[in-house]
Amino acid sequence: MDSLVIDIAVLVLAGFVGYTVISKVPNTLHTPLMSGTNAIHGIVVLGGLLLMAESSGVLEKVLLVIAVAFGTINVVGGFLVTDRMLGMFKAKDPPKADEAGADSDGKAG
């Protein structure tokens, strides 16, 4: 019973500390922070896969499959958002003057 109380206390404290830390992060750093947490979620997915080999009950296997699926969705979504964010910083090709019938000053004539 003591270990259950300790586990619940750690869960509540981790949630509180996580909320406090994330709420203090400026908006401009949320996406890079998410990129870093993708590695952590990858470890969670790997841990779930490793535990699946040692699980014995049907309920354990079902919960592990759900956890691995949600973790994988989180990792893939995080990488897609990060890729989109990094794409915003790529230099865009300048428009070619002869394609739009523009003069040398860039205005259409």
What's the mean pLDDT when you consider all of the chain?
81
More confident: 55 or 37: 55
Task: Give the global pTM.
Answer: 0.55
Is residue 42 within 8 A of residue 75, CB to CB? The reply is yes
pLDDT in tens, 5-52: 999 999 999 999 988 887 887 777 766 777 677 778 888 899 999 998
Helix 30-54, helix 58-87: angle, nearest 10? 160
Distance, in Å, from the CA atom of 52 to the CA atom of 54, rounded to the nearest integer, reads: 5
Alpha-carbon torsion, ordered 49, 50, 53, 59, to 10 deg: -60
The angle at the Cα of 30, spanning 25 to 31, to the nearest 5 degrees, equals 160
